[in-house]
């Protein structure tokens, strides 16, 4: 049972990470800032998503 829950949570985190990367790409931030945000989100999927949500580029 734990495997299914972990897989479901993993899919949710993956979808949220993709949405965050799309939002970063659409932002008015510089190219370097976009690259750094995408790298943080990809390298730290959960923590990077939280950091982006709190401190990321706003529209």
List pLDDT tens digits, range 39-57: 999 999 889 888 988 987 7
Q: d(Cα 59, Cα 46) in Å, to the nearest integer?
A: 22
| Structural domain boundaries enclosing 48 | 2-55
Q: pTM for the whole thing?
A: 0.81
**Mean pLDDT for the stretch of residues 17-24:** 92
Q: How many domains does the chain have?
A: 1
Residue 3 pLDDT greater than 60, yes or no: no
Q: Considering only residues 5 and 36, tell me which one the structure prediction assigns the higher pLDDT.
A: 36
Work out the pLDDT band at 1, boundaries 50, 70, 90. Answer: very low
Cβ distance 57 to 29 under 8 Å? yes
């Amino acid at each position: 049972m734990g495997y299914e829950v972990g897989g479901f949570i993993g899919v949710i985190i993956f979808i949220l990470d993709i949405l965050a990367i799309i939002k970063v790409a659409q932002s008015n931030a510089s190219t370097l800032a976009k690259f750094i945000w995408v790298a943080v989100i990809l390298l730290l999927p959960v923590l990077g998503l939280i950091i982006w949500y709190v401190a990321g580029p706003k529209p």
